Amino acid sequence: MPDIDFLAIHGLAVRKAAGPAAVADLLGVDEEAVTAAFDALGEQGLVAGARGMFMVAPTGQAWLAEQYPVRYADARQDGALTAAYERFERVNTDLLALFTDWQTIPAGTTRVPNDHSDKEYDRGIIDRLGNLHEKAERVVGRCAESEARLSRYLARLESAYDKVLAGDLDYVSGVRIDSYHTVWFELHEDLLRMLGRTRQE
């Protein structure tokens, strides 16, 4: 199977359900290449799609599970990558704490949903996001030294962060958009699949 077909189904598995454009954006390749890959994968019964939206079929999930240890055998032995991944997990802990602080605000001895009326509080969090983004840049950069396509996540994180700075606050942790959390969450899933790790949360 050509590499692009494997990557296309892997990207689709990270996104769960998506069109070729979104998967192409995640992988940093041409949309036409992903469309062609989905056609080929569809014929083998590995992905299923309707009206431009695709999902990995159950046979595709099983096939992927067999492929990962083979395709990423080198990556799993790559000390630099696994070290970068350990660092990723630590940034992950800090980022998730930041998202929590963004969504909830101290109210006395407890926390309540943040209604974003306190600009000073929000600015403080955005400030922290800036610092963590610098850490994220380094850690994703290290991961990309082993798997070049991962640098695409960096561009997407950068784009989310820029939107936040420009005042589009949904891009911190919004769900249906490519928010900082959405992109980070996908990167996390991508790395877990590559390295064959299990999610601890």
Binding site for another protein (CB under 8 A): 13-17, 87, 90, 93-94, 96-97, 99-100, 103-110, 112-113, 115, 117-118, 120, 123-124, 126-127, 129-130, 134-135, 138, 162, 165-167, 170, 173-177, 179, 181-182, 185-186, 188-189, 192, 199-201
Residue 3 or 115: the one with the smaller Cβ distance to another protein is: 115
Rounded to an integer, what distance in angstroms lies between the CA atom of residue 48 and that of residue 12? 11
Minimal distance, residue 150 CB to another protein, in Å: 16
* DSSP 3-state of 29: coil
Q: How many CB atoms lie within 10 A of CB 77?
A: 9
Residue 79 or 113: the one with the smaller Cβ distance to another protein is: 113
DSSP letter for 116, please.
Answer: S
Minimal distance, residue 23 CB to another protein, in Å: 13
Angle at 32 between CA 26 and CA 33, to 5 degrees: 70
Minimal distance, residue 91 CB to another protein, in Å: 9
Minimal distance, residue 43 CB to another protein, in Å: 23
Minimal distance, residue 7 CB to another protein, in Å: 17
Rounded to an integer, what distance in angstroms lies between the CA atom of residue 174 and that of residue 55? 22
Residue 77 or 115: the one with the smaller Cβ distance to another protein is: 115
Rounded to an integer, what distance in angstroms lies between the CA atom of residue 8 and that of residue 34? 6
CA 65 to mean position of chain CA atoms: 19
Minimal distance, residue 20 CB to another protein, in Å: 18
Residue 51 or 176: the one with the smaller Cβ distance to another protein is: 176
* DSSP 3-state of 121: helix
Rounded to an integer, what distance in angstroms lies between the CA atom of residue 197 and that of residue 69? 11
Residue 17 or 21: the one with the smaller Cβ distance to another protein is: 17
Residue 74 or 127: the one with the smaller Cβ distance to another protein is: 127
Q: Assess contact for 47 and 7: CB atoms under 8 A.
A: no
